[in-house]
């Protein structure tokens, strides 16, 4: 295992945390500190925090999905482009070519990142709902006919070339996708890039229209407007959109709320405090490094950081309500989301001033 790659470093969110490990192993440095990028900085460059809520009714189950990071925008693409890392991205339909590319990348001594269906990894149980989305994992090294990979379990897993190819080729949209950090520099990280990142976060949270690429009718599912929609649906006991009816069946409620709680409490779609503490770390790091630790901009960023740290407790309390045992009580959930939406709006308006 390369000495510079540590699969056990604490992280708040998988994508930003995994890429902080990969960029550190590649020698990519933050130009403001000349140190490896922190997870917080990469998370902020990715677009930081956000919100999305959806329910879908199927024949045998009703799902509930939530994302609390910047979404559906290009989170990983943002953090890579803005960091200044030179990253080569390739995709092919050929398993043979994909393996050759992976081996060539690993020969440089820098981990590569590939996309897999997680349930197809030999040590993971299949989950049809979770496996609808691909997961990026780091391939750290090749050892004969096996590879050492980091999938977020806190240690490196060994996987055969055949099994890795099967996991990489299981989803057509991401079939044999690979990213690898190469020598050189991409877009240089500047104060303006940081301002652009913060503005994107604030604008997405406060938007009243749907995100790019999303049909206009779904605008009510995103950002702070999405939080307010969710509060209404939680409190609604009569219409077909109300969660009292959507999850009126106990089995559907158990499955839907269980899925929702897993996403809020996990690190794939969310993270501790809905990732608000991580974003607060980003804001304070920007103020202390790029802005020199003083001035109006730094003060505004510090104010916003305080607001997001306070929001974390509200999000954690909501996560506990969603995951509470027994029949779901949507009234306290609705009240909690209403409070969160108001506080989120205040914090986002502070961001807009920075």
What percent of the chain is modeled with pLDDT above 90?
92
Q: Alpha carbon 86 to chain centroid distance?
A: 21
Reported as a pLDDT band with limits 50, 70 and 90, residue 291 is confident
Average model confidence (pLDDT) across the chain: 95
pLDDT at 3: 46
Q: Which residue has the tokens 């090749």?
A: 142
Spatial CA neighbour of 319 closest among 286, 274, 275, 284: 274
pLDDT at 2: 42
Distance set, CA 125 to CA 130, 168, 259 (Å): 11, 16, 16
Map the chain to HEC letters. Answer: CCCCCCCCCCCCCHHHHHHHHHHHHHCCEECCCCEECCHHHHHHHCCCEEEEEEEEECCCCEEEEEEEECCCCCHHHHHHHHHCEEEEEECCCCHHHHHHHHHHHHCCCCCEEEEECHHHCCCCCCCCCHHHCCEEEEEEEEECCEEEEECCCCCCEEEEHHHHHHHHCCCHHHCCCEEEEEEEECCCCCHHHHHHHHHHHHHHHHCCCCCCCCCHHHHHHEHHHHHHHHHHHHHCCCCCCCHHHHCCCHHHHHHHHHHHHHHHHCCCCCCHHHHHHHHHHHHHHHHHHCCCCCCHHHHHHHHHHHHHHHHHHHHHHHHHHHCCCCCCCHHHHHHHHHHHHHHHHHHHHHHHCC
pLDDT at 187: 74
Report, as an integer, the average pLDDT of 227-236: 98
pLDDT at 42: 98
Ranking 127-131, 157-161, 263-267, 315-319 by mean pLDDT, the lowest is 127-131
Q: Which residue has the tokens 């306290």?
A: 332
Report, as an integer, the average pLDDT of 201-207: 98
Report, as an integer, the average pLDDT of 96-106: 97
Ranking 117-121, 180-184, 268-272 by mean pLDDT, the lowest is 180-184
| Distance from C-alpha of 54 to C-alpha of 113, rounded to nearest angstrom | 29
pLDDT at 127: 84
Q: Is residue 4 pLDDT above 90, yes or no?
A: no
pLDDT at 37: 96
**pLDDT tens sequence across 7-35:** 999 999 999 999 999 999 999 999 999 99
Q: Specify whether the CB–CB gap between 315 and 276 falls below 8 A.
A: yes
Q: Does the predicted model carry a pTM greater than 0.75?
A: yes
| Distance from C-alpha of 27 to C-alpha of 37, rounded to nearest angstrom | 10
| Distance from C-alpha of 281 to C-alpha of 11, rounded to nearest angstrom | 13
Report, as an integer, the average pLDDT of 317-337: 97
Report, as an integer, the average pLDDT of 103-116: 96
Report, as an integer, the average pLDDT of 132-140: 94
pLDDT at 1: 42
Q: Specify whether the CB–CB gap between 282 and 32 falls below 8 A.
A: no
pLDDT at 45: 98
Q: Is residue 129 pLDDT above 80, yes or no?
A: no
pLDDT at 293: 81
């Amino acid at each position: 295992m390369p000495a510079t790659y540590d699969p056990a470093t604490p992280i708040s969110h998988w994508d930003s945390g995994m890429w902080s490990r990969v960029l550190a192993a590649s020698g990519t440095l933050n130009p403001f500190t000349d140190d490896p990028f922190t997870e917080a900085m990469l998370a902020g460059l990715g677009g930081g925090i956000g919100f999305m809520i959806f329910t879908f009714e199927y024949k045998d189950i009703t799902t509930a999905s939530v994302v609390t990071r910047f979404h559906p925008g290009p989170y990983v693409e943002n953090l890579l482009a803005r960091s200044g890392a030179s990253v080569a991205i390739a995709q092919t339909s050929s398993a043979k070519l994909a393996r050759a590319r992976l081996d060539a990348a690993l020969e440089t001594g820098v981990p590569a990142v590939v996309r897999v269906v997680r349930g197809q990894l030999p040590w993971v149980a299949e989950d049809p709902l979770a496996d609808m989305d691909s997961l990026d994992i780091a391939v750290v090294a090749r050892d004969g006919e096996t590879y050492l990979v980091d999938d977020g379990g806190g240690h490196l897993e060994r996987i055969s070339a055949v099994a890795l190819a099967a996991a990489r080729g299981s989803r057509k949209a991401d079939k044999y996708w690979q990213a690898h950090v190469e020598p050189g520099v991409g877009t240089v990280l500047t104060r303006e890039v940081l301002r652009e990142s913060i503005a994107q976060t604030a604008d997405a949270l406060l938007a009243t229209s749907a995100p790019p690429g999303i049909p206009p009718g779904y605008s009510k599912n995103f950002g702070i407007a999405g939080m307010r929609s969710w509060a209404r649906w939680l409190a609604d006991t009569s219409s077909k959109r109300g969660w009292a009816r959507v999850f009126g069946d106990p089995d559907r409620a158990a499955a839907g709320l269980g899925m929702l709680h897993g996403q809020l409490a996990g690190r794939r779609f969310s993270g501790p405090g809905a990732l608000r503490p991580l974003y607060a770390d980003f804001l304070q790091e920007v103020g202390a490094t790029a802005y020199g630790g003083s001035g109006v901009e730094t003060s505004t960023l510090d104010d916003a950081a305080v607001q997001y740290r306070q929001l974390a407790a509200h999000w954690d309390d909501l996560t506990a309500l969603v995951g509470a045992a027994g029949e779901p009580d949507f009234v306290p959930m609705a009240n909690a989301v209403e409070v969160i939406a108001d506080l989120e709006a205040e914090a986002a308006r502070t961001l807009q001033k920075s």
